[in-house]
């Protein structure tokens, strides 16, 4: 019985000492956990930063390369894979933060480091979004360019066909079909041209190509108006319109000739006035040459 009492007494006395000896181990575990979290967060900073840098290297837009749908698709596929990598890293990051949110929130240094991770993530996300927008813009421009270029020859055929159908009253229904066909085509061209204009705002490097595209679009637009204005007219009205057109041209030529004649007359009068003034100055200068006493 005495032995048991001694054992309990020594156990009671040694318990606090044992507990105190274990406290440093708990502190070491906390420090190790914080270091591990810090290391993992630095890895995420590197992952997001490298992703943005990799995207800048892989997705470069240049008008020196022939713009085709294949080229636009290649860039679009690269942007898609880049976004998939970002989503995978972001998923791992969100899972990690949810698991360690208590430990991170209790450590000021880890909270500051978390802000760095979020900043790197935002830069990567903005970079990928910008590149996806550029890929979409490039694809829209290429599509519009392929659709509009060369359509002037198509419209010449449509206008010729519409003109022939407008000569007879009985062919009016066929004329309306041609006009409906043209209107559908022009609506598609107009829509794609608008997308091409928006694409230039995203990719200014397309400005020179846009000038050529605008020229083609203007030709198609004029031809579209002529086709839509096509309508049956009797032979009398056609001759009348033709004569009126000739008369308008004659009047314009007459007015132009009058303007040119007046300009030439005014120019001749000014020349005469200048010659007269030069003569007066020469006479005045000669008077001063006489000797004086």
Q: Which tokens in the block code for residue 183? A: 């209107």
In tens, the pLDDT along 256-272 reads 666 666 667 767 767 77
pTM, two decimal places: 0.67
Mean pLDDT in the chain? 80
Question: Residue 59: enclosing H or E segment and its boundaries?
Answer: none
Question: pLDDT at position 267, please?
Answer: 72
How far lies 210's CA from each of 139, 169, 207, 243, 286, in Å? 14, 42, 5, 40, 67
Reported confidence tier of residue 3, pLDDT bands at 50, 70, 90: very low
The DSSP string of 71-109 is HHHHHHHHHHHHHHHHHHHHHHHHHHHHHHHHHHHT-HH
Q: Which tokens in the block code for residue 145? A: 């360019």
**Is 276's pLDDT higher than 90?**
no
In tens, the pLDDT along 110-148 reads 999 999 999 999 999 999 999 999 999 999 999 999 999
Question: pLDDT at position 1, please?
Answer: 47
**Is 199's pLDDT higher than 50?**
yes
């Amino acid at each position: 019985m005495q032995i048991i009492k001694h054992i309990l007494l020594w156990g009671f006395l040694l318990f606090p000492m044992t507990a105190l000896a274990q406290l440093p181990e708990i502190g070491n575990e906390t420090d190790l956990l914080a270091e591990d979290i810090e290391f993992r967060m630095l890895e995420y900073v590197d992952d997001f930063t490298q992703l943005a840098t990799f995207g800048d290297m892989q997705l470069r837009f240049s008008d020196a390369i022939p713009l085709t749908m294949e080229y636009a698709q290649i860039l679009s596929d690269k942007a898609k894979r880049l976004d998939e990598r970002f989503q995978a890293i972001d998923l791992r990051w969100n899972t990690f933060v949810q698991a360690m949110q208590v430990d991170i929130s209790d450590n000021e240094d880890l909270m500051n480091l978390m802000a760095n991770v979020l900043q790197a993530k935002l830069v990567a996300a903005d970079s990928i979004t910008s590149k996806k927008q550029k890929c979409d813009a490039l694809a829209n421009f290429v599509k519009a360019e392929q659709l509009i270029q060369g359509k002037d020859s198509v419209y010449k055929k449509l206008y010729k066909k519409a003109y022939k159908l407008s000569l007879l009253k009985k062919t009016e229904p066929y004329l309306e079909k041609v006009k409906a066909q043209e209107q559908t085509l022009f609506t598609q061209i107009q829509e794609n041209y608008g997308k091409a204009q928006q694409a230039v705002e995203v990719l200014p490097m397309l400005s020179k190509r846009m000038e050529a595209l605008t020229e083609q679009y203007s030709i198609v637009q004029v031809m579209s108006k002529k086709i839509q204005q096509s309508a049956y007219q009797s032979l009398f009205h056609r001759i009348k319109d033709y004569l009126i057109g000739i008369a308008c041209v004659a009047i314009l030529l007459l007015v132009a000739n009058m303007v040119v004649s007046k300009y030439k007359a005014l120019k001749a009068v000014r020349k005469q006035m200048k010659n007269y003034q030069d003569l007066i100055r020469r006479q005045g200068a000669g008077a001063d040459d006489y000797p004086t006493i």
